[in-house]
Structure 1
Amino acid sequence: MLVVQNVNTYIGQKRIITDASFKINPGNIIGLIGPNGAGKTTLMKTILGLTKFNGQILLNQTTVTENQHAALDKVGTLIEHPAIYPFLTGQQNLELYAHDPDDCQSLISKLNMNTYIHDKAKGYSLGMKQKLGIAIALLNKPQLVILDEPMNGLDVEATIIVRRLIHQYAAKGTAFLISSHILSELQKVMNQVILINHGHIIINQPIAEFEQLHHQVYKLHTNNSQLTVDLLKNHHIHYTLDGGIFQVNPKNIFEIQDILSSQHVYLKELTPISSSFEQIVVQLLNQQRGGDHYDD
Structure 2
Amino acid sequence: MKILSVSNLNQSFGSRHVLNDISFDIKSGTIVGLVGPNGAGKSTIMKDILGLSDYQSGTITVAGTNTSFQDHRPLKQVGALIEYPGLYPFLTGWDNLKLFATSTANVEKVVSELHMNSYIKKRAGHYSLGMKQKLGIALALVNEPDLVILDEPMNGLDPQSVKDLRDLIKQMAGNGTTFLISSHILSELEKLADDLIVIKQGRIIQHTSMKEMLNRDSHFIILKTSDDRAANSLVVNAGYQVTASQPLTIIESESDEVAKILSLLSENNIEVIDFQHNEGNLEHSLLTVLAEEKV
Both structures adopt the same fold (TM-score exceeding 0.5): yes
**For 1:52, what is the secondary structure of its paired residue?**
coil
Map of 1:58 onto structure 2: 61
- Distance in 1 between residues matched to 2:184 and 2:133, nearest whole Å: 16
Q: What does residue range 71-90 of structure 1 map to in structure 2 within 5 Å?
A: 71-90=74-93
Aligned AA (2:106): D
- Distance in 2 between residues matched to 1:96 and 1:149, nearest whole Å: 24
Answer whether contact 2:213 2:282 (CA < 8 A) is retained. no
**For 1:73, what is the secondary structure of its paired residue?**
helix
Answer whether contact 1:31 1:177 (CA < 8 A) is retained. yes
1:15 Cα deviation (Å)?
Answer: 1.8
Residue number among 273, 281, 284 corresponding to 1:279 in the alignment: 284
- Distance in 2 between residues matched to 1:66 and 1:14, nearest whole Å: 20
Map of 1:33 onto structure 2: 35
Map of 1:49 onto structure 2: 51
Map of 1:163 onto structure 2: 166
1:206 Cα deviation (Å)?
Answer: 1.4
- Distance in 1 between residues matched to 2:160 and 2:37, nearest whole Å: 27
- Distance in 2 between residues matched to 1:37 and 1:45, nearest whole Å: 14
1:289 Cα deviation (Å)?
Answer: 4.6
Map of 1:237 onto structure 2: none
Runs of 4+ aligned structure 1 residues displaced above 3 Å come to none
Answer whether contact 1:143 1:174 (CA < 8 A) is retained. yes
Q: What does residue range 1-296 of structure 1 map to in structure 2 within 5 Å?
A: 1-53=3-55, 54-212=57-215, 214-216=216-218, 275-289=280-294
**For 2:293, what is the secondary structure of its paired residue?**
helix
- Distance in 2 between residues matched to 1:275 and 1:145, nearest whole Å: 28
Answer whether contact 2:35 2:184 (CA < 8 A) is retained. yes
What is the number of residues matched between the two proteins?
236
1:211 Cα deviation (Å)?
Answer: 2.3
CA RMSD, aligned part only?
1.7
1:274 Cα deviation (Å)?
Answer: 5.8
Name whichever of 109-118 and 145-154 sits farther off: 109-118
1:14-69 deviation per Cα after TM superposition (whole angstroms, max 9, x unaligned) = 32111111111110100011111111101100111222211110000110112321
**Unmatched segments (≥5 aa) in structure 2:** 221-252, 254-277
- Distance in 1 between residues matched to 2:168 and 2:183, nearest whole Å: 16
Answer whether contact 2:217 2:284 (CA < 8 A) is retained. no
1:95 Cα deviation (Å)?
Answer: 0.2
1:12 Cα deviation (Å)?
Answer: 3.1
1:111-166 deviation per Cα after TM superposition (whole angstroms, max 9, x unaligned) = 11111111111110110000000000001110100000000000000000000110
Give the TM-score normalised by structure 2. Answer: 0.77
Aligned AA (1:66): F
% same residue: 47
Map of 2:237 onto structure 1: none
